[in-house]
Amino acid sequence: MSASLEVYPPSAEFVAQANANAALYDRADADRLEFWAEQARRLDWDTDFEQVLDWSNAPFANWFVGGKLNVSVNCVDRHVAAGKGDRVAIHWVGEPGDSRDITYSQLLADVSRAANYFTAIGLQAGDRVAIYMPMVPEALISMLACARLGLTHSVVFAGFSASALRSRVDDAEAKLVITTDGQYRRGKPAELKTNVDDALGTGDDAAKSVEKVLVVRRTNHDPKLPWVEGRDVWWDDTVGESSDHHEPDAFDSNHPLFLLYTSGTTGKPKGIVHSSGGYLTQTSYTFHNVFDHKEGRDVFWCGADIGWVTGHSYIVYGPLSNGATEVVYEGTPNTPNEHRHFEVVEKYGVTIYYMAPTLIRTFMKWGRDIPDAHDLSSIRLLGSVGEPINPEAWKWYRDVIGGGKAPIVDTWWQTETGSIMISPLPGVTETKPGAAMKPLPGISANIVDDNANPVTHGEQGYLVLDQPWPSMLLGIWGDDERFKETYWSRFADQGWYFAGDGARYDDDGALWVLGRVDDVMNVSGHRISTSEVESALVGHSGVAEAAVIGAADETTGQGIVAFVILREGVENTGDTLIAELREQVSVEISPIAKPREINVVPELPKTRSGKIMRRLLKDVAEGRELGDTSTLVDPSVFEAIRRKRA
Ligand code: 6R9
């Protein structure tokens, strides 16, 4: 990467008002732990911490040892107590066009009601609650009510299938599942509660841990919604009838706030466990500095879903702990038409807009006439997350959405890191289109080769985090060994966290994240493992073997391409079979994991040790010349695959 690429220095105007300044790096460098203690004190603690970090049991971290706090009090009560109760916390916009404004006082009442009901049904701190909901206010309220009681929530993306929900409910042994009757999907109500019924099963097959299913009325689409007496209850009849006053307790800094399942390199999703004090410290700090948030003035909008970590950290915990006013949107960007996002920006005067590159590329495809038809001048800062943003999309974003002047923060982080780790600081960093630039103050990262030696500028290497950070994962739910093995074994001697991403520094020392170096695909910013899709395909009775790769895709970053071999005697019914296979993946995992392309091939390319050569399949799928095939058992396999695709 050459140093001559365009750089975009912050404007004098932005610098003059920015929350962050260059001294933040100096302060963090001078005393990292003291720096984090200072950030932690932006929160309200019931009991002050005695020690900033206990790393003696690495890689199991304990941040802010001895400290006790209540996460929901930090996100809600303290703003009301400070006289900001009438401030809008959430401008909620429903997909059919309905909307609700919820102030901090109303949020406190709603969270208290839910907390009182959860207590009434016997839930106790440490119990797990599964949340399987579209983007309705009750989803956020449920998360905060769990936090208030020390219940560990596990949000499962409402686009996931019944079987994906079941495995997550079972793994976490959730006692309560919260859902809605239905959800809007591109203008039409679709089932949701019935997915929960399918997931939880009946009789011998019933999910053993679940005692109650709490249902929010959203679509009202089915007058005969199936109902399990004694298990299922309506939100309105229960939470709605509970007292709006609730006295919270404080919990240990390391109390598990939530679990969030994410794809790994092996089939089974892992439950990433996050803390309370450390997690909230860093989400709150990053929200304030990376998004340059000004209380009472800014209107923030993060387009993620609460089913992903971005929704947890930058729809719920980061904004609300800072007393922000934010837009929460239920639907897709093209319902009822492609103007939707820009109308919302205009209506609420959105100032900070945080989206995924795949959406920006979609906007580019739709054409600039659409955003140009709106007054987007309220926007003063843009954010990007989920995958590398290509320089072309970066420039379009700044010019067309940011009026040619809004700084862009390209934020690198992961479910496991809990909050933003590598990003420009607006008002400080000279940005380059496509680069995440530099670890934030207080964060330490490095790019190293196979032998843990730092790479020279221009060389590609592995992105590692060589110091613990406050919002780091506590572990993988119920599997300490897998936690150590997955993240800490690659550079075990050094004690570094290996993120699974490749990266490089350019000649100026700016950091560019290049994407995953493992078998995890990134489709529209969603992490999907190749082996998960492979095992879904092999679950079809006609399939003997499957290999899946992520091929470059102009819009979605990567597209899923599958190669399957049929069992002996199974007839290839062409499109019918392909449709069945795609459906199989949709049911087993989610519609977002459906392969873009499925090739039925006579053979898969394998090394002599029997490993599928995915790298070569990628070359084929991306239409490149084949690389080195010398280790293949039978190089002619490719000719057969090529012929099939042509
Ligand atoms: C927050 C989130 C994590 C993976 C991560 C990386 C990719 C995220 C990125 C980025 C380049 C960025 N990723 N942000 N790559 N530039 N700004 O997306 O979490 O769903 O766990 O995904 O996403 O590959 O390892 P998660």
* Boundary-marking domain end, from 482, 498, 514: 498
The answer to whether residues 91 and 155 belong to one domain is: yes
The answer to whether residues 492 and 552 belong to one domain is: no
Residue with tokens 């009750």: 138
Q: What's residue 43's pLDDT? A: 98
Can you tell me the distance from the alpha carbon of 236 to that of 245, in angstroms, rounded to the nearest whole number?
17
The answer to whether residues 209 and 249 belong to one domain is: yes
Mind listing the pLDDT tens digit for each residue in 46-68?
999 999 999 999 999 999 999 99
Range 527-536 average pLDDT: 85
Contact 536, 584 (CB under 8 A): yes
Centre of ligand 1 from the C-alpha of residue 611, in Å? 27
Centre of ligand 1 from the C-alpha of residue 250, in Å? 32
The answer to whether residues 460 and 531 belong to one domain is: no
Can you tell me the distance from the alpha carbon of 499 to that of 222, in angstroms, rounded to the nearest whole number?
45
The answer to whether residues 494 and 532 belong to one domain is: no
In a domain, 517, yes or no: no
What are the start-end ranges of the H helices in 547-612?
575-588
DSSP annotation string for 327-349: EEE-S-TTSS-TTHHHHHHHHHT
In a domain, 505, yes or no: no
Contact 283, 313 (CB under 8 A): yes
Contact 309, 420 (CB under 8 A): no
Q: What's residue 514's pLDDT? A: 87
- Report the atom number in ligand 1 closest to the C-alpha of 416: 21
Q: Output the domain CATH number for residue 602.
A: 3.30.300.30
Centre of ligand 1 from the C-alpha of residue 284, in Å? 19
* Boundary-marking domain end, from 498, 516, 532: 498
Contact 424, 14 (CB under 8 A): no
- Report the atom number in ligand 1 closest to the C-alpha of 520: 24
The answer to whether residues 430 and 530 belong to one domain is: no
Atom 16 in ligand 1: which residue has the minimum CA distance? Answer: 388
- Report the atom number in ligand 1 closest to the C-alpha of 313: 1
pTM comes to 0.90
Ligand 1 is surrounded, with C-beta below 6 A, by 262, 308-310, 384-388, 410-415, 436, 499-501, 513, 515-516, 522, 525, 527
Residue 244: DSSP 8-state: S
Q: What's residue 3's pLDDT? A: 44
Calculate the CA 240 to chain-centre distance: 30
**Binding positions:** 185-188, 310, 334, 386-388, 410-415, 501, 516, 524, 527, 538, 540, 543
Can you tell me the distance from the alpha carbon of 337 to that of 469, in angstroms, rounded to the nearest whole number?
42
Q: Taking the alpha carbons of 452, 458, 462, 463 in that order, is the dihedral positive or negative? A: positive
Atom 11 in ligand 1: which residue has the minimum CA distance? Answer: 388
Mind listing the pLDDT tens digit for each residue in 210-254?
999 999 999 999 999 999 999 999 999 999 999 999 999 999 999
Of 27, 66, 76, 54, the residue nearest 277 (C-alpha): 66
In a domain, 626, yes or no: yes
For the chain, what is the radius of gyration of the CA atoms?
24
Of 104, 46, 37, the residue nearest 71 (C-alpha): 46
Contact 242, 51 (CB under 8 A): no
Residues of the domain holding 202? 12-498
Q: What's residue 361's pLDDT? A: 87
Of 7, 25, 97, the residue nearest 439 (C-alpha): 25
**Three-class SS of residue 1?**
coil
- Report the atom number in ligand 1 closest to the C-alpha of 499: 25
Centre of ligand 1 from the C-alpha of residue 255, in Å? 25
Q: What's residue 264's pLDDT? A: 67
Can you tell me the distance from the alpha carbon of 553 to that of 556, in angstroms, rounded to the nearest whole number?
6
Mind listing the pLDDT tens digit for each residue in 407-458?
999 999 999 999 999 999 999 999 999 999 999 999 999 999 999 999 999 8
Mind listing the pLDDT tens digit for each residue in 541-596?
899 888 999 999 989 999 999 999 898 888 898 899 999 999 999 998 899 999 99
Residue with tokens 């998360």: 143
Mind listing the pLDDT tens digit for each residue in 137-157?
999 999 999 999 999 999 999
The answer to whether residues 194 and 324 belong to one domain is: yes
In a domain, 419, yes or no: yes
- Indicate the helix (H) or strand (E) that contains 534: helix 530-538
Beta bridge mates, 511? 437, 505
- Report the atom number in ligand 1 closest to the C-alpha of 526: 20
The answer to whether residues 323 and 203 belong to one domain is: yes
Residue with tokens 């995953």: 516
Residue 233 backbone zone (phi > 0: left; psi -120 to 50: alpha; other: beta):
beta
Phi and psi, residue 125, nearest 5°: -45, 135
Centre of ligand 1 from the C-alpha of residue 413, in Å? 5
DSSP annotation string for 8-32: BPPPHHHHHH-S--THHHHHHHH-H
Can you tell me the distance from the alpha carbon of 75 to that of 44, in angstroms, rounded to the nearest whole number?
10
In a domain, 504, yes or no: no
Site to substitute for ligand 1 among 306, 513, 520, 556, most atoms within 8 A of C-beta: 513
**Binding positions for CoA:** 185-188, 310, 334, 524
In a domain, 325, yes or no: yes
- Report the atom number in ligand 1 closest to the C-alpha of 423: 17
In a domain, 6, yes or no: no
The answer to whether residues 448 and 589 belong to one domain is: no
The answer to whether residues 591 and 473 belong to one domain is: no
* Boundary-marking domain end, from 480, 498, 516: 498
Centre of ligand 1 from the C-alpha of residue 414, in Å? 5
More confident residue, 572 or 497: 497
Structurally, the chain folds into a number of domains equal to 2
Is residue 2 over pLDDT 50?
Answer: no
In a domain, 448, yes or no: yes
Query: CA-based angle 570:575:579, to the nearest 5?
Result: 90
**Three-class SS of residue 514?**
strand
Instruction: Look up residue 189 and give its amino acid.
Output: P
The answer to whether residues 391 and 482 belong to one domain is: yes
Can you tell me the distance from the alpha carbon of 348 to that of 342, in angstroms, rounded to the nearest whole number?
10
Q: Output the domain CATH number for residue 97.
A: 3.40.50.12780
- Say what the ipTM of the complex is: 1.00
Centre of ligand 1 from the C-alpha of residue 332, in Å? 21
Q: Are strands 188-191 and 182-185 parallel, antiparallel or unpaired?
A: antiparallel
The answer to whether residues 470 and 544 belong to one domain is: no
For the chain, what percentages of helix, strand and coil (3-state, to nearest 5) are there? 30, 25, 45
Centre of ligand 1 from the C-alpha of residue 589, in Å? 20
Confidence of residue 495 (pLDDT cuts 50, 70, 90): very high
